[in-house]
Amino acid sequence: PSVSNHSGTYTTGYDSMARPSTLVDNSNNAWASNVAYGPSNEPLSLNNETRTYNSRLQLTSVVVTVGGVAQFSQVYMYPTNGTNNGKAIQQNDVVSGTIYVAYTYLPELISLYQKEEQDAEAALEKWKICIQKRNDGFKACEEKYPEHGKKWDDCLKAVLEQYDICRGIKAPKPSAPSAPGSKF
């Protein structure tokens, strides 16, 4: 089917299961291509974007590559200690190194460091350094395994395990994580 508006005509193509797979304008410019779906109809790819999911079909990563280089790469983490209520506890921007932490998670981590450091600023700074090292690990995984797959997953898991313990203090698992919101 085609749809026309003031700027042109757009035609949508569908795959064998009647899912949208292409979008082309009247000048034959492809607006959507390389579309793939998983067994539960979850979107796996669109143009240069690739998505991965965990066994609960929760989004775990979104990567956009141009010329083989990741321009956008987000990793989403969920609790693994039986409290997974569907809300991500952490989001990492692998390209910029920015980490977004769930509201309830960050104060617990800071308080752990405050037990070791009397100064809250010093405690927060130590935590930021630890997280930066973990981000560096994520970037290394991205560079080493840009195609994402089992080796990439294993690399990310190893980084998470290594930096879940920062300076010998085990990070607490949140009892009721909320949506990501605090930016560090």
pLDDT in tens, the chain (184 residues): 667 666 788 899 999 999 999 999 988 999 999 999 999 999 999 999 999 999 999 999 999 999 988 899 999 888 777 778 787 878 888 888 777 765 444 555 555 555 555 555 666 666 677 777 777 877 888 788 777 777 877 777 777 766 654 544 333 333 333 444 433 3
Q: How much is the pTM?
A: 0.54
Q: What is the pLDDT of residue 95?
A: 86
Dihedral of CA 183/81/61/161: which sign?
positive
The answer to whether 129 touches 182, Cβ cutoff 8 Å, is no
Name the nearest CA neighbour of 63 among 178, 180, 146, 162.
146
- Distance between CA atoms of residues 16 and 25, nearest Å: 21
* Residues in Cβ contact with 150 at an 8 Å cutoff, skipping those fewer than 6 apart: none
Which H or E run includes 47? none
**22 in Cβ contact with 33 (< 8 Å):** yes
The residue written with tokens 């609790």 in the block is 79
